[in-house]
Copies of this chain bind each other. A is one copy, B any other.
Amino acid sequence: MLGVHRNTVIAAYHELSAEGFLGTEPGRGTFIASSLPEVKPKRWLSGKASGPKLAVHPHFSFDAAPAELRFTPIPKGTLALYGGVPDTRSLPRLALARAYRRALRGVPSLLDYADPQGEPRLRSALAEMLRASRGLAVSADDVLVTRGSQMALALIGRALVRPGDVIAVESLGYKPAWRALAQRGARLAPVPIDAEGLAVDALEELCEREPVRAVYVTPHHQYPTTVTMTASRRMALLELARRKRFAIVEDDYDHEFHYEGRPVLPLASADHAGVVLYVGTMSKVLAPGLRIGYLIAPAAVRDAAIALRFDIDRQGDRLTEWAVAELMEDGELQRHVWRMRRVYQSRRDHCARELREHLGRWIRFGVPTGGMALWGQVSRALPVSSFLVQAARHGVLFQPGEQFTWGQRGTQHVRLGYGALTERELSTAVARLAEAARATAD
């Protein structure tokens, strides 16, 4: 009927049978298979059905710097006195789940491509919060929503910084931020910090010698020493930045959790010259897993950052941005912050009491005015590296001071976080720490 050669028809039948589209029943004939096969992809290279296993080293040249592990899970049963980790157990989880559901079911367009600057609703809510409580005269257009403060810093590093630039940093600090800012080949230069915060006169001397492009500071609760930068240092820093024309990258990472006295307004609230790039985050007030941060910067810098953001991941997580905006608008977030402030303050006091009682002879520390961790100095009778190992054996983890330094070995400082543990867990953790201390000293 089709006018093709019989052999062609036979070949076609064979191929269709081989592919499973036809089945033969001996004595009865050839029929369409009762269940058609999944269309299998076409192999264009004969050989094994599945490809070769992934190589460890690529065939092209690749100098992989041995990458430090960025994340190690906490062993089950171990208590981690890690700073900067909020207690997500008390999150308004149901409210969040409802917000996600309303977003998914009521706002279909949230799953489409959109503005890399972030959901307008969240930018409005953030702008309102920043106006009301941080003295920043901003509107929704001024806010760039980022995936955590880390992304804001990564964008600044790319928008602002050039190879050969010098970035001044507090001599103790947050290395992932340093890496993000220096990614284009800038040099980091440490500036001393003391009980008043950054030593601005030392920074001024640095500016005489080096092309300082920016200074990275954590003025509300210095990371990791917890010191709040005094008013006179703040004014001096703004004045120096104005005179020398460098940028101030202000990382206000846990603004809300301030316990003694009133919270201090950010440098950005007094930035008449236009030198501050203000970075904030919701990781501590909500949850680190939600990855909501923000950048407030002069419009030219912000626009450059938005374009660069597109080239990284195109846009934020719109469902999350929408859900968080809802929690902000209906007051749920604010209530959560009030609750957690009281909780963290109690945990701070409890942790301090326990440490004084059980480890007072080994660890000296100040009680921080804010934040979720304290900064202590360990007696030389207890070398921190051995102490860390013993502590892990006893089921407790903490952050050794060298995580925050310029690779100085032998620093006896430690960071002990109390935010994520209940008072009972804190007692257990401190007890284990004390056992570990005794084991180390022996």
Contacts and interface: CB of A to CB of B under 8 A. Distances in A.
Interface of A: 39-45, 47, 49-62, 64-65, 67-68, 70-71, 73, 85, 88-89, 91, 93-94, 96-97, 100-101, 104-105, 108-116, 131, 133-138, 142, 146-148, 150-151, 154, 158, 160, 176, 179-180, 183, 213-214, 231, 234-235, 241-242, 245-247, 261-265, 268-275, 287-291, 296-301, 303-304, 306-307, 310-315, 317-320
A430 to B, nearest CB: 22
Contacts of A134: 41
A154 B154 CA distance: 12
Query: Which 4 A-B pairs have CB atoms at the shortest separation, nearest pair first?
Result: A55-B274, A111-B287, A44-B231, A111-B289
Residue of A61, A65, A146, A270 ringed by the most chain B CB atoms within 10 A = A270
A50 B247 contact: no
A94 to B, nearest CB: 8
B275 A291 contact: no
B112 A289 contact: yes
Contacts of A65: 304
Nearest to A44: B231
A59 B242 contact: yes
Given A61-B245, A70-B307, 11 more contacts: A39-B263, A41-B134, A44-B264, A45-B269, A45-B270, A54-B298, A59-B273, A64-B304, A70-B306, A176-B314, A183-B311
Contact of A313 (B49, B136, B151, B299): B151
A132 B272 CA distance: 60
A58 B298 contact: yes
A180 B311 contact: yes
A45 B231 contact: yes
A401 B93 CA distance: 47
B289 A150 contact: no
A310 B105 contact: no
A137 B300 contact: no
A49 B135 contact: yes
B58 A290 contact: no
Contact of A268 (B51, B133, B303): B51
Contacts of A146: 313
Contact of A304 (B59, B67, B296, B317): B67
Contacts of A88: 108-109, 111-112
Given A51-B137, A64-B300, A275 B113 contact: no
Contacts of A319: 100, 289, 320
Given A291-B315, A310-B176, A317-B320, A275 B60 contact: yes
Given A50-B136, A274-B58, A320-B317, A310 B71 contact: yes
